[in-house]
Amino acid sequence: MGRSPCCDENGLKKGPWTQEEDEKLLHYIQTNGHGSWRTLPRLAGLNRCGKSCRLRWTNYLRPDIKRGKFSQEEEQTILHLHSVLGNKWSAIATHLPGRTDNEIKNFWNTHLKKRLIQMGFDPMTHRPRTDFFAALPQLIALAALREQLGGTAVADQSSGAGAAGVAIFEQAAKLQYLQSLLQSAATTIAAASSAPSSDTEAAAALALGAICSPQLTALDSSTTTTAPVSSSVDNASGQLLPCTFPAEAPVSSEEDETKNQQQQTGLSSYGLSCRADDVVDVFACHGGNSSLPALTDLSDAASNLPVDGCIMRSATASSSFGGGSSCSPLPWPELFFPDDPFITDFL
């Protein structure tokens, strides 16, 4: 388990490479190959450590490196492979010729990860976030709003501390569900708004989204407009909510089975859709140790309960969309919204 002595070795240069250094390295490798990276700097006349030379070559100087923006196809490939492999950047890079692991990692951290978070998805599991703490600010706002509206305070519904805790979790679950609906709707209509005829709907959706989740107004339109647009989600009230973001729509058409097979072969569109049986295979293939705060899995309470005809699996219960063809994609409404006027007003 030896550690290579690093660049802090005496006098070795660090920092950005000059053109002259690039030329030396390029010339040496083109004529001799890189051989031993450790000896390369000395042989090439570079005052760098071998590690630095290797990085410079693999991430920048290599002739087969593709530069420029990631294409739509590359983006979807990264999303899909990340959902399967996790942060295995080098493994992902092997499926993207000309792209380096460093480049993919940067692209993920600066674009894709943020986009997933904005849309309410855990970037590690690629599934809707259901963590209590992420919803806490909205939960507090919701409680305040309810009080203003003269609704029944949470504490009033319960008689003891334990019951109060349950009530809080119920509220969190309701809020998350509501947020998911709004995200779906806002995303959909925002996508439709690229067509000139739906300005009013888009404005309404954005305004509605801003009420519950201000970040929705900042949704990256490129995501929504480029995502597959064909799914529909049967919501709690029986309405059809068209859904544009693929991962949140485990829809029920038979063509999705085909899509599933394509995805499992690796490189189809990120238009994820899955049956309940596929949840583990498609989504939960890596550790899922999120960089975000640990998830408090609200759906645990509902796990293994029959929900709309299917069983919530505890192993995958962090998703509120884990259902499939026979399941409501949003498993909470039947449990949590029997007659809550505040919620039903929205539905």
CB of 341 to DNA, least distance (A): 38
Instruction: Verify binding: residue 95, DNA, rule CB under 7 A.
Output: no
* Binding region for DNA (CB under 7 A) out of 106-114, 140-148, 189-197, 202-210: 106-114
Nearer to DNA, 59 or 194 (CB): 59
Alpha helices (H) along 161-241:
161-192, 199-212, 221-226
Instruction: Verify binding: residue 291, DNA, rule CB under 7 A.
Output: yes
Count of CB atoms situated within 10 Å of the CB of 42: 11
Nearer to DNA, 107 or 342 (CB): 107
Position among 30, 109, 215, 253 found at the interface with DNA (CB under 7 A):
109
Which amino acid makes up residue 37?
A: W
Instruction: Verify binding: residue 286, DNA, rule CB under 7 A.
Output: no
Position among 26, 54, 204, 288 found at the interface with DNA (CB under 7 A):
54
Binding footprint of DNA, residue count (CB under 7 A):
40
Instruction: Verify binding: residue 56, DNA, rule CB under 7 A.
Output: yes
- Contact 216/209 with Cβ under 8 angstroms? yes
Q: Which residues contact 232 (CB under 8 A, 6 or more apart)?
A: 240, 241, 242, 243, 249, 251
Buried b or exposed e, range 181-199, using 16+ CB within 10 angstroms: bbbbbbbbbbbbbeeeebe
Crossing angle (nearest 10°) for helices 132-148 and 161-192: 100
Cα-trace Rg, the chain: 25
Which token pair is 324? Answer: 């499939």
CB of 16 to DNA, least distance (A): 4
CB of 59 to DNA, least distance (A): 6
Q: Which residues contact 146 (CB under 8 A, 6 or more apart)?
A: 152, 153, 154, 342
Position among 90, 217, 222, 237 found at the interface with DNA (CB under 7 A):
90
CB of 9 to DNA, least distance (A): 9
Residues that bind DNA (CB under 7 A): 1-4, 6-8, 13-17, 35-38, 50-52, 54-56, 59-60, 87-91, 101-103, 105-107, 109-111, 114, 291
